[in-house]
Chain A
C-alpha cells in the first residue's frame, strides 16, 4: 500500500516540465522526509493556485479578483495595450518600468503543429477590447520565436482596419530566445525602439 502512494505522487510530479521520473521520485522522498506541515502547506498552495487564483476578465493576467491590479490601477493609460504570450512576460516588462498601459495575455501562441489555433487563444477577446474602447496603440511583445512572429502577423492583419497604431517591440532580444531571459535594460530599449507594423 505504501508503495502505491509513492508511485502515485511520483507519477503526478513527473508531469511537471523538466521533471523526469527520477527527479519526481526524489521529490516524493524529500516530501516524506520533511515535517508534515510542509506537505500540508504545499498541498494547500497547489489547491489555492487552481481554486483561488483567477484570471483577470479584461486582460487574462493572473488575479485574485475579477479585475487584476494593473487593469484596476487608475494611474495606468487604458489607451495602450501590450499583447503578451503569458503572464510571465508581464513581470518582465513591469520590471523595466517603461510601459504604463494595460496588457492582454494571449495564453499562448499560434502553433498548428501543436494543435493551437486562434480559437485556443484570447484573440477574439483582444479584437473585442480594441473595438469597444478608444485605443491609441497596440504593442506586440511576443517571444521572438517563429510562432510568436506568426501570431503578431496574424493579429496585426485582423487589427489593420481599426484606427489604432500597431507596433512591435524591437528585437534586441535574440531570435528564438525568450522574453523570460531578457534583462530590464534590454527590455526597456526594446519598448522604446518599438516599430510600427
Chain B
C-alpha cells in the first residue's frame, strides 16, 4: 500500500469493508465490527489467514494472523508470538460505522477507547489492564464464595493500587487528548454546540483518598456480593451543550463526536510518540457534506498512512495524490499507484 492515502473504491457488497477489516485485524488481533475474531472466518470455511509486512523507518516486521475455529495463531517474522508483543507492534486506529458506539454505547466502549489511547502512550498500561482483570476475577470469586473480609481485603490492597494507576493514566490520557479533539470538532462541526468530557470514578469523590476509599467499600461489597468501585466501573461522560450526549445528540452529532475522538487520538499519539498511527476509515463519508469531507481528508492525508473505503469515484477527485484500489467481487486490483 502507499504511504499516504489508500482508496478502496467499489460498489456496496464488493468486499471493501472486509479488506479494511483484514488490515485492522492483522495489526490489532481484533475485528472492528465482529465481537470475536472467529466471526471473520467465511461461512463454510475451516480457517482464514492474514499476512502483511509492517514497515517503519526501514525496519520490517512480517505479521501473520491465522484463525481457525476457536484458535488464533500469531506469528511475528516467522516466529510464534504472544498477544501482548504482537499487538504492541503497530499503532492503528479505525473510524467505521460502528464507531458511533463510542458515544451511544455503554461506558465500557469509552473505557476501552481511553485505555487504547493510554496504552499507545504508555506500553505498561496494557499489562496493567491484564493484571487488573485477574485481580477482578479473584475478587469476584471471593464475593461469590462468601469469603471473609480478611481474605477479600488481601486481594483488594494490590487491586486498589493498580486501579489507581489505571485511573491516573486514563485521566492523563484524556487531559492530553482533549485539546486535539476539541480543535477538530470546532473546525469540522462548529454548529453542533460545546463538547465537554469528564472522567467519573464510581463511588470515589476524593482522588487523594482513592485506595483508602475503595478498601472501605469492602464490607458493603461482601454484603451485596458485587464490587462497588474500581477502574472497571468508571465512566467517561461526554456532554454536548451541557447535556449528556447519549441522551441529546442526534445520530449525525454522535458520529461527529466519535470522528473527532478518533482523529484527536491519532494526532495525540503522533505528537507524543513520533509515530503516526495508521488510520482506517470505513464508510466515513456517509452523512458528511463535500466541504467537511475535504477538510477531514486533508487532515488524514497530512498525518500518515490512511486506508479509506468509498463507493464513489467522485469522492476521490480533488485528491491528486494517493493510491487507488478497485474492489470488485472480493478481488482487489491496483488502479493508481500513488507511491
Contact = CB atoms under 8 A, between A and B. Distances in A.
Interface of A: 110-113, 117-118, 146-147, 149-151, 153-154, 157-158, 176
A63 B63 CA distance: 51
- Per DSSP, chain B at the interface is helix
A154 to B, nearest CB: 4
Given A112-B138, A151-B154, 17 more contacts: A110-B155, A112-B147, A112-B151, A113-B141, A117-B145, A117-B151, A118-B151, A146-B155, A146-B158, A150-B138, A150-B154, A153-B153, A153-B154, A153-B157, A154-B151, A154-B154, A157-B153
B146 to A, nearest CB: 11
B138 A147 contact: yes
B131 A110 contact: no
Q: Which 5 interchain pairs have the tightest Cβ spacing?
A: A154-B154, A112-B141, A153-B154, A150-B155, A113-B141
A149 B137 CA distance: 15
Nearest to B157: A153
B135 interface: yes
Contacts of B138: 111-113, 146-147, 150
B151 A149 contact: no
A112 B155 CA distance: 10
A157 B150 contact: yes
A117 B158 contact: no
A150 B145 CA distance: 17
Contacts of B142: 112
Contacts of B134: 146
Given A112-B138, A112-B141, A150-B158, A117 B147 contact: yes
Contacts of A146: 131, 134-135, 138, 155, 158
Interface in B219-276: none
Interface string B71-98: 0000000000000000000000000000
A154 B150 CA distance: 7
Contact of B158 (A113, A149, A158): A149
Nearest to A175: B131
B121 to A, nearest CB: 20
Interface string B115-142: 0000000000000000100110110011
Contacts of A149: 157-158
Contacts of A117: 145, 147, 151
Nearest to B141: A112
Tell me which of B131, B135, B138, B147 has the highest count of chain A C-beta atoms within 10 A of its own C-beta.
Answer: B138
A150 B134 CA distance: 12
Contacts of A151: 154
Contacts of B157: 149-150, 153
Contacts of B158: 146, 149-150, 153
A151 B157 CA distance: 11
Given A146-B134, A146-B138, A112 B145 contact: yes
Nearest to A113: B141
A112 B145 CA distance: 8
B141 A110 contact: no
B148 to A, nearest CB: 9
Nearest to A148: B158
Nearest to A118: B151
Interface in B130-182: 131, 134-135, 137-138, 141-142, 145, 147, 150-151, 153-155, 157-158
13 contacts: A112-B142, A113-B137, A117-B147, A146-B134, A149-B157, A149-B158, A150-B155, A150-B158, A151-B154, A153-B155, A153-B157, A153-B158, A157-B150
A146 B141 CA distance: 15
Tell me which of A112, A147, A149, A154 has the highest count of chain B C-beta atoms within 10 A of its own C-beta.
Answer: A112
A117 B152 CA distance: 11
B211 to A, nearest CB: 13
A158 B145 contact: no
Interface in B185-210: none
Nearest to B148: A118
B157 to A, nearest CB: 5
Contacts of A147: 138
Nearest to B131: A146
Tell me which of A118, A146, A151, A158 has the highest count of chain B C-beta atoms within 10 A of its own C-beta.
Answer: A146
A158 B147 contact: no
Nearest to A155: B154
